[in-house]
Amino acid sequence: MDWCPLPMGVVFPMTLCGYHEYAFSLSFPKDPPECKITQQGGEYIGRTNVSHSGFACQVWMEPGRSTIPGKEELFLPAFPDYKGTGEPHNFCRNPDGDAAPWCFIEGGSNDEFCDIPFCKVREVQGGPQGNVYPECRLTEKGKEYVGTKSVTETGKPCVDWEKNPYGMPWDFFNQEMGYSDHFIHADPTIHKNYCRNPALYREKPWCFVSEPDIEWEYCDIPLCHNLEPPECKLTRSGGEYVGRRNTTISGFRCQHWLAQNPVAHSEIHQSLSAFPDEVDGTNNFCRNPVNFGHGPWCYLKESGNSWEYCDVPFCPKTEGERCDIRISGNCMSPLECKENEKGETYIGTKNITKSGKPCQLWMSISPNARTTAISYRSPESFPDDIHPSHNFCRNPDSIPGGPWCYNGAGTSPSWEYCDIQFC
């Protein structure tokens, strides 16, 4: 596909070049489109002038100024409609190449993203029967693709991502972040030399190649027959999950990723390339863009806590599979006993304390919101994979008394030891 070059590194397909001319004409259009073409929306010239949380946008600059107070590095020509504005305005824009159109606001934090949806260019149709995820892509760009194809569309072998043979790619979103942080799971080594799409402006999965004068090529990854994303995760961290769950394990609603209210955060600034899908104002789905702990999560729209994990289970490997205990994703049949006093290797299924209290889910912040603090416990603290329904006695802190759990009844004490027999 040929492309129209635009300022700020933004590109449009040639089929949309009419829109490009429309957006950058000398006269400001009467009714500009209220949508964006690209993830960052540097081309957006609509008239939305409230932030995602509903705060009024401030005027960008006073008459006669060519820079923005407080952000002198942003010049007037960085705005896509600067030739046709005439008068100062307070419309959402993206003059600095951030994650999405934004504005300074009159309340809350200093600035916030705006709720600008994607323009609907065309509907994506499902592929032939037999194309099943993850060995196919669910979307046009295929950012969620985690299959195993490792040759380009012309048959060239792909180079391991870990080698990064040509330096930081030009379209990795945040050049100040590390190379690894742009990948799902934030680890290029686990992607080996498989086709992926960690960048923002490439059409579909691709890879580096070792050819004279050729640094990379696209891969021929077919579309899945069923484009509905699976409501389960393939890996422990679930960085590839693109399902539609938007409530947490305890039932709290998820905050939109572009919102900074009630929880201000930096994930959308720092980890945009690691999201498995594109993000607009409607995206409040459980995600794990920072390879955090035990699975997809989200910030909370309500509650006194800032975030919680979501109920995203492992994808079953066989139809009807029931698996309570997994190690590295593999189903296990555990011994119901401990090998020593601390019982750090215990992976049994006991989920009741010594006094008969039910164990709380390890990934939940309810009912013991203050004490769970699983966020500081790495996956390596547990001998098996933690998943949403996991409430089995464990000893992640290696305390002398042996396996324990939080009190799921919400009464005192907040936690108790479990009665685990020796092997």
What does the pLDDT look like over 33-59, one tens digit per residue? 899 999 999 999 999 999 999 999 988
Domain 242-315 part of CATH 2.40.20.10:
yes
Q: What is the pLDDT of residue 58?
A: 87
Instruction: Quote the Cα angle for 46-47-51, to 5°.
Output: 105
pLDDT of residue 218 exceeding 50, the answer is yes
Q: How confident is the model at residue 321 (pLDDT cuts 50, 70, 90)?
A: confident
Q: What is the pLDDT of residue 351?
A: 97
Q: What is the pLDDT of residue 24?
A: 36
Q: How confident is the model at residue 91 (pLDDT cuts 50, 70, 90)?
A: very high
What is the second-level CATH architecture of the domain 124-228? Answer: Beta Barrel (2.40)
Q: How confident is the model at residue 104 (pLDDT cuts 50, 70, 90)?
A: confident
> What residue spans in the chain does CATH classification 2.40.20.10 cover?
1-122, 124-228, 242-315, 321-423
pLDDT of residue 11 exceeding 90, the answer is no
Q: What is the pLDDT of residues 272-288, one digit of tens each?
A: 989 999 999 999 999 99
Q: What is the pLDDT of residue 62?
A: 62
Residue 416 forms beta bridges with which residues? Answer: 405
Mean pLDDT of the chain: 85
For the entire predicted model, the pTM comes to: 0.83
> What is the Cα–Cα distance from 363 to 295, expressed in whole angstroms?
9
Q: What is the pLDDT of residue 123?
A: 77
What's domain 321-423's superfamily in CATH? Plasminogen Kringle 4 (2.40.20.10)
Q: How many CB atoms lie under 10 A from the CB of residue 377?
A: 17
> What is the Cα–Cα distance from 270 to 181, expressed in whole angstroms?
8
- 186, 274 Cβ separation under 8 angstroms: yes
What average pLDDT score do residues 30-35 get?
A: 85
Helix (H, G, I), strand (E, B) or coil at 52: coil
Helix (H, G, I), strand (E, B) or coil at 184: helix
Q: What is the pLDDT of residues 139-161, one digit of tens each?
A: 999 999 999 999 999 999 999 99
Q: How confident is the model at residue 320 (pLDDT cuts 50, 70, 90)?
A: confident
pLDDT of residue 372 exceeding 80, the answer is no
Higher pLDDT, 12 or 41: 41
pLDDT of residue 353 exceeding 70, the answer is yes
Q: What is the pLDDT of residue 97?
A: 85
What is the second-level CATH architecture of the domain 1-122? Answer: Beta Barrel (2.40)
pLDDT of residue 324 exceeding 70, the answer is yes
374, two tokens:
């699983």
Q: What is the pLDDT of residue 79?
A: 78
pLDDT of residue 15 exceeding 50, the answer is no
- 211, 157 Cβ separation under 8 angstroms: no
- Which DSSP symbol is given to 16? G
pLDDT of residue 108 exceeding 90, the answer is no
